[in-house]
Amino acid sequence: MAEQPQGQATPRPGAPQRGGRPQGRGGRRDDRRNQVPEAPKEFEEVVINIDRVARVVKGGRRFRFKALVVVGNRKNKVGVGVSKGADVQTAIAKATDVAKKHLITIPLQGDTIPHEAEVKLSGAHVLIKPAAPGTGIIAGGVVRSVVSVTGLHNLISKSLGSTNKVNIAYATVEALSTLVARDKWLNAKPRTEKPAKAEKAPVEAAKAEVVAEVAPAPKKAPAKKVAAKKVEK
């Protein structure tokens, strides 16, 4: 057998090589696998619009970003927020915080709203109506974005005024906040279940049958006799 040259030893598994890297798997890949999955978010965030705005200062123009964000839990809560930031991510984060601080609760009637509502806010004019099951959400861009994060699945809406996205979003939330649950209407009658008819005891039922058989039939009144008229000659 050929002798191995002196000074060279077989590397052990896991021992560092000359470059300083250990053999085998490890490092960042294992760290990624051991990460704990993040908990699901309570609210869903939807960015409706992002604008670049400018402010004139002494040295020129100062550019910033304005974000319009709507948040909701896909049940009965929704909120809209607008905020500005030096970059897009900052503006979105600040607008999300504003929206979460101004959440409203919607009184749902199944998958739709209990009644129609019409709101005029600034130049925006929004009309929403309940819809039958299977209709879906019939709405424009901004109204659809706001309704999509709620628990509504059947709704009819119409935007009749300004096309400003911020005003339409606030008008939609205002219309949803004016809804009143059906059980709180002025002439609403509480739904009460009819009590079930109590069944007669078998002994009482038998007595009633015996009494009905023994009782004599009512006598008819005698017919009145009509005297025949004499015919005079």
Domains of the chain: 44-105 (3.30.160.20), 117-184 (3.30.230.10)
The most confident of the ranges 19-23, 137-141, 215-219 is: 137-141
Percent of the chain past pLDDT 70, that is, above it, reads 63
User: How far is it, in rounded angstroms, from Cα 173 to Cα 80?
Assistant: 7
Residues paired with residue 81 on neighbouring β-strands, in sequence order:
69
Provide the b/e sequence for 203-233 (b: ≥16 CB within 10 Å): eeeeeeeeeeeeeeeeeeeeeeeeeeeeeee
- pLDDT tier, 56 (very low <50, low <70, confident <90, very high otherwise): very high
pTM: 0.64
pLDDT of amino acid 137:
93
- Bridge partners of 22, per DSSP, are 16
Average pLDDT, the chain: 79
Which pLDDT does position 142 carry in this prediction? 93
Give the pLDDT confidence of 187-229 residue by residue, as tens digits. 766 655 555 555 545 556 666 665 555 555 566 666 665 555 5
Q: Is 60 left (phi over 0), alpha (psi -120 to 50) or beta?
A: left
**pLDDT at position 84:** 95
